[in-house]
Amino acid sequence: MSEKNIMIDAIDVNKEYRRAGAIIRALADVNLKIKSGEFVIIQGPTGCGKSTLLNVLSGLDLPDSGRIIFDGENIARATEDRLSRLRRQKIGFVFQDFNLVNTLTAIENVEAVLWPTVLRQKEIENRGITALRDVNLLARKDHYPVQMSGGEQQRCAIARAIIHRPRVILADEPSGDLDPTSEKEIMDLLTKINKEMETTVIVVTHRDLSKYGTKTIRMDNGRITKIQ
């Protein structure tokens, strides 16, 4: 595997937490390479460490030991300012509970990622409209989250994740609160973004969504047990 094609390289990563006096080993000797343009599904039961892995891959959390090479840069020891810039520029986030602001319309939620910015307001508006069109939600641009279904809210969240044209989308249980029909719509949409925008997509889930991925990683008790 050519190192030039590696988007994320996790090397000997360990992470522990203390809870009620006990030590929880969330990640244990994790090694993982993700190529640029891959669609990676990380599967495992609740509490297996998959969300912790997603957090350290994005710099939202730091490992206790090991390295995280993100687009050629070791972010495991980067400053918070550097990590913040990296997330703004290169990463789009999608969450299970959507994380939309209830007092903002769909277009305002999407555009909020670019505030503050050096871009002109017209450019922000154009990007917001394009992002909503890409997820087939433009007709709902002036609607508030409470006026949208769960699937529509998640599509809005995906539009927010792609407005700044990230290198990577990290999705934590993106279909966890959705019915089967909406789940398929969301996963098909992420597949489309992966292929058409050549964006690396990493999805964490407790469900079997392996049919959508180019690579499936199975975790248990903080360890990667299988890669296929």
Which tens digits make up the pLDDT trace of 194-223? 999 999 999 999 999 999 999 999 999 999
Helix axes 180-196, 150-162, angle to 10 degrees: 20
* Nearest alpha carbon to residue 204 among 66, 101, 58: 58
3-state helix, strand, coil in the chain (%, to 5): 35, 30, 35
User: Which has the minimum average pLDDT: 17-26, 42-51, 79-88?
Assistant: 17-26
Query: What are residue 224's DSSP bridge partners?
Result: 219
Long-range contacts of 59-64 (CB under 8 A, 24+ apart): 59/83, 59/86, 59/87, 60/87, 61/15, 63/13, 63/14, 63/15, 63/27, 64/14, 64/15, 64/16
Instruction: List the structure tokens of 38.
Output: 């891959």
Residue at token pair 């949208």: 148
pLDDT of residue 1: 45
Selection from 88, 212, 221 nearest residue 160 by Cα: 88
CA 101 vs. chain centroid, Å, equals 18
Report helix, strand or coil for 27.
strand
Say whether pLDDT at 2 is over 60. no
Share of the chain above pLDDT 70, in %: 98
- The structural domains of the chain, ordered by start, are 3-227 (3.40.50.300)
Question: Could you report the per-residue pLDDT of 82-136, keeping only the tens digit for each?
Answer: 999 999 899 999 998 999 999 999 999 999 988 877 678 899 999 999 999 999 9
